[in-house]
């Protein structure tokens, strides 16, 4: 019997990968649902991006903590690397914040303390991680944002997506290349004028909590460049002016965590956690009830299978499992990928995790010149572009018998690999107040976003804003360069 991961529904996508709810089956009617993160098809032929993808898996696989999403398995499906991870039955903190603020409400402080505690516990563990010889790895997440904090149906708080984490004296990204979401970066990450260490994560965690309890973000601006300039200036309003019921310890903790200079912040995440706990801390059931009150609709749909691709067929990805190597040096390049096998051997049984879903977006890089100074315009640096995108993921359809005879024959659908010589450029888009951006009828992302890879050439983008308002923009993308576009509704 063929074994593999059956894709149930796509739940997220970004510039680097896409995430599916997937079902793993095995002997004895074994079944488990996981989140399957697949590298985008047009990026799978880039050795560097595949190496980074595997490095993320090796780093995350070292982590075993109740506040960090767990990795179960890695492998390849038709040449596309994948990571199978814990499927969290819940929503991102950003989604919860949107639903709460949409109704004109505010996140209660006792719930914010519980979320802050879980986030700080995850960072404390990650920052203290060691290699096989007990040597500190000095892990820095570098992308602590509301979109990477998950809140489960049961009231658990988990940190995810270590895809751009920095490790020891090396990095999963190139030196001088700034990655992450512009408005959540620490000033030293933008200016490159101080080491990026645990204090950068503490800054981003404090900023995430500041936004969660006030409903405002001090550095969000109309453009990415303006946001980065605001980060560098570091002007944060006093939280007491935005939230009158905040306690003194909570307010002082947030502002120390948001200090402009790293040396003025907390040295470790544990100290931020202790500062926040100056009042009642909610229980997990209280947070669970709050999530269900505001996000119940968001929890159900992703668990339902998409419509089959044809009568009597379901989309199944057959995987070739790879041995998950955990070298002493996390920064060591990943081993060469194995050649894809059409129908692989069964994967190891997955023993851990919970059912459900989570929205995981692949972080997209913001590339800036390290020497930028306020108020100079922050210049983008050209980077080598990966090959062009392929229209659809490679998925093998395996026919199953329909109720009426005769049973359908097996159908194998093949999608050719993209030519390696093709080049892509990058799209940065923004809209006021916001918009979904569609290309060829498919939503590629929600504004603001940066450096989305597109084939070099001319494209027509559709911006779908509030109330169904629509605007079209024609853009010309040059290989290896960034094209920026903005619309106002």
How far, in Å, CA of 327 to CA of 167, rounded?
13
Q: Which two tokens stand for residue 451?
A: 């450096």
Annotation marks residue 161 as catalytic: no
How far, in Å, CA of 24 to CA of 18, rounded?
18
Nearest to 246 by CA among 138, 107, 379, 149: 107
Tell the residue number behind the tokens 């492998």, with chain if given.
75
Choosing from 52, 143, 430, 445, the catalytic residue is 143
Residues 6+ apart with CB under 8 A from 203: 186, 257, 258, 259, 262, 265
Judge contact between 389 and 427, C-beta under 8 A: no
Judge contact between 203 and 263, C-beta under 8 A: no
Question: What are 484's strand-pairing partners?
Answer: 428
CA distances from 99 to 34, 144, 151, 295, 343 (A): 26, 20, 13, 7, 43
CA angle 67-363-171, nearest 5°?
85
For residue 164, with 0-12 CB atoms within 10 Å meaning exposed, 13-18 middle and 19 or more buried, which class applies? buried
How far, in Å, CA of 424 to CA of 84, rounded?
28
How far, in Å, CA of 239 to CA of 215, rounded?
11
The helix/strand/coil state of 9 is strand
Q: Catalytic site residues?
A: 143
């Amino acid at each position: 019997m063929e074994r593999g991961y059956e894709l149930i529904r796509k739940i997220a996508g970004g510039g680097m990968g896409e995430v599916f709810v997937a079902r793993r089956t095995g002997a004895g009617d074994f079944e488990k649902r996981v989140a399957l993160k697949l590298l985008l098809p047009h990026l799978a032929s880039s050795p560097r991006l595949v190496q980074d993808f595997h490095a993320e898996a090796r780093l995350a696989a070292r982590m075993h903590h109740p506040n960090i999403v767990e990795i179960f398995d890695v492998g390849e499906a038709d040449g596309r690397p994948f990571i199978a991870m814990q499927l969290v039955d819940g929503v991102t903190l950003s989604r919860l914040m949107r639903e709460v603020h949409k109704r004109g409400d505010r996140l209660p402080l006792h719930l914010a303390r519980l979320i802050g505690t879980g986030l700080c516990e995850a960072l404390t563990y990650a920052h203290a991680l060691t290699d096989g010889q007990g040597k500190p790895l000095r892990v820095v997440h570098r992308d602590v944002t509301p979109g990477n904090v998950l809140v489960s149906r049961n009231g658990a708080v988990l940190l995810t997506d270590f895809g751009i984490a920095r490790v020891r004296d090396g990095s999963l990204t190139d030196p001088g290349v700034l990655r992450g979401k512009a408005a959540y970066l620490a000033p030293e990450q933008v200016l490159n004028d101080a080491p990026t260490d645990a204090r950068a994560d503490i800054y981003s965690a404090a900023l995430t909590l500041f936004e969660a309890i006030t409903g405002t973000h001090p550095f969000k601006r109309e453009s990415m460049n303006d946001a980065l300039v605001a980060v560098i200036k570091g002007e944060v309003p006093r939280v007491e002016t935005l939230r009158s019921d905040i306690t003194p310890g909570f307010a002082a903790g947030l502002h120390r965590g948001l200090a402009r200079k790293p040396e003025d912040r907390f040295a470790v995440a544990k100290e931020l956690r202790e500062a926040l706990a100056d009042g009642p801390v909610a229980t997990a059931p209280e947070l669970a009830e709050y999530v269900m009150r505001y996000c119940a609709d968001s929890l159900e749909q992703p668990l339902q299978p998409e419509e089959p691709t044809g009568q009597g067929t379901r989309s199944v990805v057959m995987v070739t499992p790879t041995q998950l190597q955990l070298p002493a040096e996390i920064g060591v390049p990943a081993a060469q990928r194995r050649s894809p096998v059409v129908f692989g051997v069964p994967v190891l049984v997955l023993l851990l995790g919970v059912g459900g879903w989570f929205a995981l977006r692949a972080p997209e890089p913001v590339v800036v010149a390290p020497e930028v100074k306020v108020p100079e315009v922050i210049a983008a640096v050209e980077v080598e572009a990966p090959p062009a995108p392929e229209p659809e993921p490679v998925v093998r359809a395996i026919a199953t018998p329909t109720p009426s005879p005769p049973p359908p024959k097996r159908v194998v659908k093949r999608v050719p690999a993209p030519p390696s010589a093709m080049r892509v450029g990058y799209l940065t888009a923004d809209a006021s107040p916001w918009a979904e951006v569609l290309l060829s009828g498919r939503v590629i992302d929600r504004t603001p976003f940066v450096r989305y890879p597109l084939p070099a050439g001319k494209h027509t983008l559709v911006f779908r804003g509030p109330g169904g308002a629509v605007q079209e923009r024609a853009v010309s993308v040059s290989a290896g360069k960034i094209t920026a576009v903005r619309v106002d509704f």
